[in-house]
């Protein structure tokens, strides 16, 4: 959708209509952003639409909607800051909700470390601050860089803004040469109230909650605005360090305190789950009077050597957990039910709500999961919400726990309007009109339109260009959608004829979307770079239901060439038992996957689209294992830390295709450890055992050309 940049000559009717569209569009984008891996709008476009909304609201203040996007949460990262690659990834925390989860956390750690229940094991317990995390890098005692978390590995450079915070020292004494201090930027509730009052007086944007206000204030392109906002900072962790701060978590926090950082006074040292839970209860009681928002208590293993041994899972440390406060509930009215269509054709119902504050967050959308969830009865007749269905106009209870998408937990039948009618779940796709069918045993209704359905086509294209798939530089979700909407790319194969067809339309695009010869050529080169591509990636990129990255690689490793795969699929489709048995005989491929794969290759139109694509590609052969030319054949390899050049699944499949055995843990039998950033206990153990260790680049060099 495109909006003018100008509002001269706009009437109330124009503004009202556009504000309505913007509200719907941004609400959907917000929902997608929080709920899926493929946001519908990219960050720059999201920001542009928000600015457009703000401009209209300033010009037409009497038309500001109750569900205005300017009071919604979920601002996407901006494109306006330079990017910072974190030297040590900024991870998130796994969650605990019940007391038993805390006991299990302790038990899990003891088991992992081989510590019996009679031996002491200490933890720190501290509030989980509801703000946004910030990493401050000091070199030789001077603040040189500040970055937001971003996606954990790349954040935004907000150095100038961070320098304006009074809790952020510019110079440290007696600090390690390299010290990255991490913590939470937040806004006190009283400061938040005062800021919003001032914003209202100015006719400026109001913030939904202190966390949004803190995020919005830190991520200002003008540092002077940040300076005018009362932001605070608690230090609770660290990233890269040239020398350790202490032997314990508590000791390290005390060091940070001695450097002049604010650390949380409610940090306690606990000797086990009973003391941790007692401290949690105490903090919970004080929660309302703290003056700042917190959403739980974080427990961390106190002994830093043990933290090192425990290390990390893919995105969370094993040595810490966030014990969240209970979920928040609120009642509001259901204004409508929209149906969104995803990549695999799934029709997902989304509740449009009268905006309501649920524990500090304004919620205007919630998931309704599927048809059965709305009707109040599951596929086997079991009751959901005591069998109460959900109708437009109903008074509904919203449930929000942490970062999960809010859902409708209950319906108040006593408040149901007399004219409310049972929701008729569509039996045709709202996007393309094709039949939407439900397979036996599947709660999800799916559009049968395949690629004639624009929603599926766009989602499929977005998947095609995504990271584990073709990952074409400069051709992200936004661009590919634009090309689709402009009629340039209907299916993946069209991407590879863009250069040839572009000559004719370049002028048009230049005018509309700001493409120039240089940027277009850069894109075409990036597309050309992907003409030669791995088998597994191509298969994964097709977005066949149930065929994920790992399965794609397994299948590729089994068949070796694209041609063999196609031949096998043809045979299997002709009900050749042997071909089918061979397919489901692949370790890791079950009958559901196999059925889906054979179906995709057997459908005329889908197969034709696959063939049109493959005609533009040189799909690399996966060579059968030949011990004579593989330096890793028969070796046991362990991957740890973050891999940046390939996915875990790809790395594993590649290693296996070269005859290596991939293991999840380091032992005396390990031959090679491939350690990426964030590698923890495994790297240490490998070092202790004298095991050959290399980084990802070293590994790729070793298997070069294979």
The DSSP result for 551-583, as a single string, is: HHHHHHHHH-SHHHHHHHHHHHHTT-HHHHHHH
Rg (CA), the chain: 27
Please list every residue from 627 through 686 that binds ligand IVH, using CB under 6 A: none
In terms of Cα–Cα distance, which of 317, 157, 324 is closest to 237? 317
Please list every residue from 579 through 638 that binds ligand IVH, using CB under 6 A: none
Q: How far apart are CA 8 and CA 644, in angstroms?
A: 48
Query: Residue 147 Cβ, how far from ligand IVH at the closest point, in Å?
Result: 13
Among 69, 155, 273, 317, binds ligand IVH (CB under 6 A): 317
Among 71, 253, 270, 320, binds ligand IVH (CB under 6 A): 320
Which C-beta is closer to ligand IVH: that of 106 or that of 184? 184
Query: Residue 36 Cβ, how far from ligand IVH at the closest point, in Å?
Result: 20
**Secondary structure class of 160 (helix, strand, coil):** helix
Please list every residue from 249 through 308 that binds ligand IVH, using CB under 6 A: 298
Which C-beta is closer to ligand IVH: that of 152 or that of 160? 152
Which C-beta is closer to ligand IVH: that of 129 or that of 283? 129
Nearest-5° angle of CA 464, CA 466, CA 470? 60
Q: Which is it for the CA torsion 282, 284, 286, 292, positive or negative?
A: positive
Among 128, 279, 318, 682, binds ligand IVH (CB under 6 A): 128
In terms of Cα–Cα distance, which of 348, 392, 390, 340 is closest to 370? 348
Which C-beta is closer to ligand IVH: that of 543 or that of 641? 641
Stretch that binds ligand IVH, among 317-325, 489-497, 508-516, 645-653 (CB under 6 A): 317-325
Query: Residue 126 Cβ, how far from ligand IVH at the closest point, in Å?
Result: 5
Q: How far apart are CA 219 and CA 132, in angstroms?
A: 11
Which C-beta is closer to ligand IVH: that of 125 or that of 660? 125
The DSSP result for 170-210, as a single string, is: SB-SS--SEEEEEEEEE--HHHHHHHHHHHHHHT-PPPSSH
Stretch that binds ligand IVH, among 314-322, 428-436, 638-646, 684-692 (CB under 6 A): 314-322
The DSSP result for 64-111, as a single string, is: --TT-GGG-S-PPPPSSS-EEE-SS------EE-SHHHHHHHHHHHHH
Among 105, 138, 233, 236, binds ligand IVH (CB under 6 A): 236
Among 76, 96, 125, 129, binds ligand IVH (CB under 6 A): 129
Please list every residue from 181 through 220 that binds ligand IVH, using CB under 6 A: 184
Q: Is residue 92 exposed (0-12), middle (13-18) or buried (19+ Cβ within 10 Å)?
A: middle
Q: Is 83 a catalytic residue?
A: no
Query: Residue 92 Cβ, how far from ligand IVH at the closest point, in Å?
Result: 4
Count of chain residues binding ligand IVH (CB under 6 A): 15
Please list every residue from 366 through 385 that binds ligand IVH, using CB under 6 A: none
Query: Residue 29 Cβ, how far from ligand IVH at the closest point, in Å?
Result: 23
Which C-beta is closer to ligand IVH: that of 105 or that of 601? 105
Among 93, 306, 398, 455, binds ligand IVH (CB under 6 A): 93
Which C-beta is closer to ligand IVH: that of 150 or that of 449? 150
Stretch that binds ligand IVH, among 98-106, 127-135, 249-257, 273-281 (CB under 6 A): 127-135
Query: Residue 680 Cβ, how far from ligand IVH at the closest point, in Å?
Result: 11
Which C-beta is closer to ligand IVH: that of 70 or that of 267? 267
Which C-beta is closer to ligand IVH: that of 155 or that of 176? 155
Per residue, the 3-state secondary structure of 290-340, as one string, reads CCCCEEEEEEEECEHHHHHHHCECCCCECCEEEEECCCEEEEEEEEEEEEE
Stretch that binds ligand IVH, among 87-95, 301-309, 497-505, 615-623 (CB under 6 A): 87-95
Q: Which is it for the CA torsion 285, 291, 294, 300, positive or negative?
A: negative
Query: Residue 271 Cβ, how far from ligand IVH at the closest point, in Å?
Result: 19
Q: How far apart are CA 149 and CA 471, in angstroms?
A: 23
Query: Residue 150 Cβ, how far from ligand IVH at the closest point, in Å?
Result: 11
Q: How far apart are CA 502 and CA 645, in angstroms?
A: 31
Contacts of 574 (CB under 8 A, 6+ apart): none
CB count, 10 Å around CB of 682?
Answer: 23
Stretch that binds ligand IVH, among 96-104, 126-134, 161-169, 392-400 (CB under 6 A): 126-134
Which C-beta is closer to ligand IVH: that of 93 or that of 362? 93
Q: How far apart are CA 46 and CA 576, in angstroms?
A: 50
Which C-beta is closer to ligand IVH: that of 320 or that of 495? 320
Cross-strand partners of 398? 330, 408
In terms of Cα–Cα distance, which of 532, 660, 645, 555 is closest to 601? 555
Q: Does 86 bind ligand IVH (CB under 6 A)?
A: no
Stretch that binds ligand IVH, among 123-131, 200-208, 240-248, 432-440 (CB under 6 A): 123-131
Q: How far apart are CA 335 and CA 340, in angstroms?
A: 16
Going along 499-540, which residue ranges are E strands? 532-534
Please list every residue from 479 through 538 that binds ligand IVH, using CB under 6 A: none
Query: Residue 645 Cβ, how far from ligand IVH at the closest point, in Å?
Result: 23
Which C-beta is closer to ligand IVH: that of 132 or that of 556? 132
Chain-centroid distance of CA 643 in Å reads 17
Cβ(630)–Cβ(654) below 8 Å: no
Which of 128, 205, 652, 654 is flagged as catalytic?
Answer: 128
Among 133, 164, 209, 220, binds ligand IVH (CB under 6 A): 133
Q: How far apart are CA 331 and CA 411, in angstroms?
A: 9
Binding mask of the shown chain, residues 140 to 179, with x at each position contacting ligand IVH by CB under 6 A? ---------x------------------------------
In terms of Cα–Cα distance, which of 57, 1, 330, 360 is closest to 208? 360
Q: How far apart are CA 598 and CA 574, in angstroms?
A: 10
In terms of Cα–Cα distance, which of 627, 623, 648 is closest to 705? 623
Residue facing ligand IVH at closest CB distance: 133
Q: At which residue do the structure tokens 């997608």 appear?
A: 32
Contacts of 607 (CB under 8 A, 6+ apart): 600, 601
Q: Does 92 bind ligand IVH (CB under 6 A)?
A: yes
Among 84, 91, 589, 649, binds ligand IVH (CB under 6 A): 91
Stretch that binds ligand IVH, among 122-130, 368-376, 541-549, 593-601 (CB under 6 A): 122-130
Q: Does 126 bind ligand IVH (CB under 6 A)?
A: yes
Residues annotated as part of the active site: 128
Residues that bind ligand IVH (CB under 6 A): 91-93, 126, 128-129, 133, 149, 184, 236-237, 298, 317, 320, 322
């Amino acid at each position: 959708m495109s909006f003018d940049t100008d509002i001269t000559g706009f009437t109330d009717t124009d503004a009202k209509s556009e504000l309505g569209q913007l509200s719907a569009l941004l609400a959907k984008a917000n929902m997608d952003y929080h709920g899926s891996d493929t946001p519908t709008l990219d960050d720059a476009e999201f920001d542009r639409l928000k600015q457009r909304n703000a401009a209209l609201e300033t010009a037409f203040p009497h038309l500001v909607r109750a569900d205005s996007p300017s009071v919604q949460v979920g601002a996407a990262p901006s494109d306006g800051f330079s990017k910072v690659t974190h030297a040590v990834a900024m991870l998130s925390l796994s969650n605990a909700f019940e007391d038993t989860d805390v006991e299990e956390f302790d038990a899990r750690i003891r088991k992992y470390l081989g510590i019996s229940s009679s031996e002491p094991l200490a933890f720190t317990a501290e509030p989980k601050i509801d703000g946004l995390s910030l990493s401050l890098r000091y070199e030789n005692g001077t603040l040189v860089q500040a970055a937001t978390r971003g996606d954990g590995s790349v954040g935004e450079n907000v150095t100038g803004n961070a320098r304006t915070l009074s809790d952020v020292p510019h110079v440290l004494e007696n600090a390690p040469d390299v010290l990255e201090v991490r913590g939470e930027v937040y806004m006190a509730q009283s400061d938040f109230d005062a800021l919003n009052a001032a914003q209202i007086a100015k006719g400026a944007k109001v913030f939904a909650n202190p966390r949004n206000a803190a995020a919005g204030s830190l991520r200002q392109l003008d540092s002077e605005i940040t300076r005018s906002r009362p932001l605070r900072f608690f230090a609770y962790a660290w990233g890269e360090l040239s020398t350790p701060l202490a032997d314990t978590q508590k000791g390290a926090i005390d060091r940070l305190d001695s450097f002049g950082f604010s650390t949380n006074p409610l940090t306690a040292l606990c000797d086990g789950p009973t003391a941790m839970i007692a401290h949690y209860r105490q903090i919970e009681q004080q929660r309302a009077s703290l003056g700042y928002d917190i959403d739980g208590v974080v427990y961390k293993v106190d002994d830093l050597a043990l933290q090192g041994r425990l290390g990390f899972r893919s995105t969370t440390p094993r040595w810490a957990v966030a014990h969240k406060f209970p979920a928040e509930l609120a009642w509001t009215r259901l204004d409508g039910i929209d149906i969104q269509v995803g990549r695999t054709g799934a029709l997902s119902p989304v509740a449009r709500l009268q905006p309501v504050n649920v524990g500090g967050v304004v919620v205007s959308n919630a998931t309704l999961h599927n048809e059965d969830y709305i009707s109040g009865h599951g596929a086997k007749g079991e009751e959901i919400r005591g069998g109460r269905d959900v109708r437009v106009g109903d008074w509904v209870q919203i449930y929000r726990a942490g970062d999960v998408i809010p859902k409708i937990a209950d319906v108040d039948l006593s408040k149901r309007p007399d004219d409310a009618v049972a929701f008729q779940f569509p039996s045709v796709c709202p996007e393309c009109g094709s039949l939407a069918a439900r397979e036996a045993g599947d709660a999800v209704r799916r559009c049968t339109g395949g690629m004639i359905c624009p929603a599926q086509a766009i989602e499929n294209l977005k998947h095609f260009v995504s990271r584990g798939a073709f990952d074409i530089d400069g051709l992200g979700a936004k661009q590919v959608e634009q090309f689709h909407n402009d009629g340039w790319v209907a299916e993946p194969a069209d991407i590879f004829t863009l250069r040839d067809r572009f000559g004719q339309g370049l002028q048009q695009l230049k005018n509309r979307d700001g493409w120039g010869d240089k940027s277009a050529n850069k894109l075409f080169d990036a597309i050309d770079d992907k003409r030669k591509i791995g088998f597994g990636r191509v298969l994964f990129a097709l977005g066949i239901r149930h065929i994920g990255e790992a399965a794609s690689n397994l299948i590729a490793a089994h068949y070796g060439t694209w041609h063999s795969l196609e031949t096998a699929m043809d045979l299997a489709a002709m009900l050749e038992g042997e071909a089918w048995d061979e397919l489901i005989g692949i370790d890791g491929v079950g009958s559901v996957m196999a059925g889906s794969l054979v179906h995709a290759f057997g459908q005329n139109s889908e197969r034709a689209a696959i063939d049109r694509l493959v005609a533009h590609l040189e799909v690399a052969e996966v060579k059968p294992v030949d011990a004579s030319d593989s330096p890793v054949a028969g070796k046991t390899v362990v991957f740890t830390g973050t891999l940046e050049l390939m996915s875990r699944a790809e790395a594993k499949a590649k290693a296996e295709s070269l005859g290596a055995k991939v293991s999840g843990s380091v032992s005396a039998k390990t031959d090679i450890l491939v350690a990426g950033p964030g590698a923890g206990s495994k790297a240490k153990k490998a070092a202790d055992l004298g095991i050959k260790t290399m980084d990802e680049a070293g590994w790729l060099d070793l298997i070069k050309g294979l």
